[in-house]
């Protein structure tokens, strides 16, 4: 069974609820009946016209609607029994059960669907849909415009009453422009993934950016408003959205969750980050999450001082070249997970200040936490830190390191190639600290006397090229590594 329609309604997976719409469908040929129990659209032999009587339209069924030469197929296939009479209608028409009608081609002008395209060589087919009034609630369902290429669709025509855009609704689609959606509360996964045409989104009622919402999209600016309802940002929500410049505010106070790689690769994102979070919330959330702001090359600052989150995980701010300062919570606990290669602030080449540096509550500094941060100056205070992992401050601009009484490990190259580092200190009674190789390799400004009686051994090339060190105080060490004092040209005295 096919129904030939000259004026089109319920394309693109749209659904409306509540209010009084004024919709019409003119049929030619076979009569049709469309219903989901709330809204009823029916056609009788007497007038050959579908008219609405209120409710929500869904589309379910195996049969295609045809507009001229353009066929629009339902997304879900449900066999129908056409032997049954038409329910709640006059005449002797037939019944359709259509629940997720997939509309592949179309454009809006204002609140009117003005054109329908065909994917075949049949050419352009014109249809018309008058959408509900502005205050009428409206939704766009799964994959409504997914894959619609070469479509002239201006997002400015989305209705004011739009409350939900479902999963994949505009993914891989050429819909373009600015979407002003004051009532949009739900934005599904992949909603605008690979959509290069969208530029702006205004969505003060939005509660979440779900996973992959704008991945590889053209989104440039997002305005959430002073009273933003945003609660979370899903994993990879903006992954490689390379045109994204601003989110205002960034982030709203109520946003307490950011998923893995949430903003990875947003190279133009230049909004200062203020993250509030909630009790025990983390950034990112979950032990396996990483890369939250990886390669956000224009991110200027990060203020986490209002948050109660406790740690940062792998590559959270890797390659954030423009980042200048970071504020941490006073009760922050861990600079990355235990172990090497966590790389939290690697290549943050303009980072000058971390406050506090570090909080007294920090117990762990992960591998490569501040690697290649040459402008990061000041005294690195490790008052209650037990483990400093490999390359923790490799190539950083720090001036001094103050170890605390709980120190157990300093791993390889933790403070190598720190050109401004002049000295280290540790409590006099500290003993039994394990150390790796080349811990202070090429830190050429280490000066004067160094008291290292807390160490259990002196591994190979520990101080290589530390030419200004004159005196070493070593305690009860168990071994000397190969080339332990290599190229320490200024060394004059060693006390055991």
Residue 71: half-sphere exposure toward Cβ, Cα within 13 Å:
10
Q: How far apart are CA 165 and CA 187, in angstroms?
A: 5
In this structure, what is the dihedral angle of CA atoms 113, 119, 125, 131, given to the nearest 10 degrees?
A: -10
Which of 4-8, 151-155, 279-283, 406-410 has the least mean pLDDT? 4-8
Q: What is the pLDDT of residue 71?
A: 35
pLDDT, average across residues 50-67: 30
Predicted confidence (pLDDT) per residue in 268-308, tens digit: 999 999 998 754 444 444 444 578 899 999 999 999 999 88
Predicted confidence (pLDDT) per residue in 415-463, tens digit: 999 999 999 999 999 999 999 999 999 999 999 999 999 999 999 999 9
* Confidence grade of residue 90 (pLDDT, cut at 50, 70, 90): very low
Burial (CB < 10 A; 0-12, 13-18, 19+), residue 190, is buried
pLDDT, average across residues 5-34: 31
Predicted confidence (pLDDT) per residue in 139-167, tens digit: 776 776 677 665 556 788 777 778 888 88
Q: Are 293 and 317 in contact (CB under 8 A)?
A: yes
Q: What is the pLDDT of residue 146?
A: 72
Q: What is the pLDDT of residue 278?
A: 54
- State residue 90 phi and psi, 5-degree precision: -90, 165
pLDDT, average across residues 169-185: 88
Q: For the chain, what is the mean pLDDT?
A: 74
Q: What is the pLDDT of residue 196?
A: 94
Q: What is the pLDDT of residue 148?
A: 65
* Confidence grade of residue 484 (pLDDT, cut at 50, 70, 90): confident
CA angle, corner 34, sides to 32 and 40, nearest 5?
120
Q: Percent of the chain beyond pLDDT 70?
A: 68
Q: Of 26-35, 245-254, 475-484, where does the model show the most confidence? A: 245-254
Give yes or no for residue 365 having a pLDDT over 90: yes
CA-CA distances (angstroms) from residue 52 to 20, 33, 256? 9, 11, 42
Q: Are 236 and 214 in contact (CB under 8 A)?
A: no
Q: How far apart are CA 437 and CA 141, in angstroms?
A: 59
Q: How far apart are CA 351 and CA 357, in angstroms?
A: 13
Give yes or no for residue 118 having a pLDDT over 50: no
pLDDT, average across residues 177-184: 93
- State residue 452 phi and psi, 5-degree precision: -120, 30
Prediction pTM value = 0.74
Q: What is the pLDDT of residue 102?
A: 30
Which of 187-191, 275-279, 380-384 has the least mean pLDDT? 275-279
pLDDT, average across residues 200-215: 97
Q: What is the pLDDT of residue 113?
A: 31
Give yes or no for residue 120 having a pLDDT over 80: no
């Amino acid at each position: 069974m096919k129904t030939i329609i000259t004026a089109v309604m319920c394309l693109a997976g749209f659904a409306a609820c509540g209010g009084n719409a004024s919709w019409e469908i003119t049929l030619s040929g076979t009569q049709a009946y469309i219903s989901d129990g709330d809204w009823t659209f029916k056609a009788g032999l007497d007038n050959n016209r579908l008219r609405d009587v209120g409710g929500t339209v869904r589309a379910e069924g195996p049969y295609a609607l045809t507009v001229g030469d353009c066929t629009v197929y339902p997304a879900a296939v449900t066999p129908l029994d056409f032997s049954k009479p038409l329910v709640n209608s006059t005449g002797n028409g037939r019944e359709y059960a259509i629940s997720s009608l997939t509309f592949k081609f179309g454009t809006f002008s204002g609140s009117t669907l003005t054109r329908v395209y065909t994917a075949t060589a049949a050419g352009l087919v014109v249809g018309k849909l008058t959408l509900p009034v502005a205050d009428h609630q409206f939704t766009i369902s799964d994959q409504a415009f997914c894959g619609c290429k070469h479509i002239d669709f201006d997002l400015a025509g989305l209705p004011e009453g739009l409350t939900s855009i479902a999963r994949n609704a505009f993914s891989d689609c050429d819909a373009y422009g600015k979407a002003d959606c004051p009532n949009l509360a739900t934005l599904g996964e992949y909603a605008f993934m690979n959509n290069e045409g969208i530029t702006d989104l205004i969505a003060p009622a939005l509660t979440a950016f779900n996973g992959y919402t704008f991945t590889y999209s053209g989104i440039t600016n997002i305005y959430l408003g002073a009273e933003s309802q945003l609660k979370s940002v899903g994993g990879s929500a903006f992954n490689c959205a390379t045109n994204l410049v601003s989110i205002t505010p960034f982030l709203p106070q109520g946003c307490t969750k950011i998923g893995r790689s949430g903003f990875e690769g947003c190279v133009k994102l230049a909004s200062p980050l203020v993250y509030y979070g909630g009790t025990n919330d983390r950034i990112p959330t979950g032990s396996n999450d990483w890369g939250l702001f990886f390669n956000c090359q224009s991110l200027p600052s990060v203020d986490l001082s209002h948050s109660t989150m406790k740690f940062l995980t792998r590559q959270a701010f890797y390659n954030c070249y423009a980042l200048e300062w970071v504020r941490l919570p006073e009760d922050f606990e861990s600079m990355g997970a235990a172990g090497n290669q966590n790389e939290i602030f690697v290549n943050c080449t303009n980072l000058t200040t971390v406050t506090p540096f570090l909080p007294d509550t920090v117990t762990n500094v992960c591998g490569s936490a501040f690697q290649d941060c040459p402008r990061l100056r000041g005294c690195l205070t490790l008052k209650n830190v037990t483990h400093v992992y490999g390359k923790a401050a490799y190539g950083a601009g720090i001036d001094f390191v103050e170890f605390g009484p709980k120190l157990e490990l300093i791993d390889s190259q933790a403070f190598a190639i720190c050109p401004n580092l002049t000295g280290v200190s540790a409590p006099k009674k500290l003993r039994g600290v394990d150390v790796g190789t080349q811990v202070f390799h090429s830190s050429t400004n280490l000066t004067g006397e160094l008291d290292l009686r807390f160490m259990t051994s002196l591994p190979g090339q520990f101080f290589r090229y530390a030419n200004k060190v004159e005196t070493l105080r070593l305690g009860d060490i168990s071994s000397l590594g190969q080339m332990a004092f290599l190229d320490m040209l200024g060394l004059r005295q060693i006390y055991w």
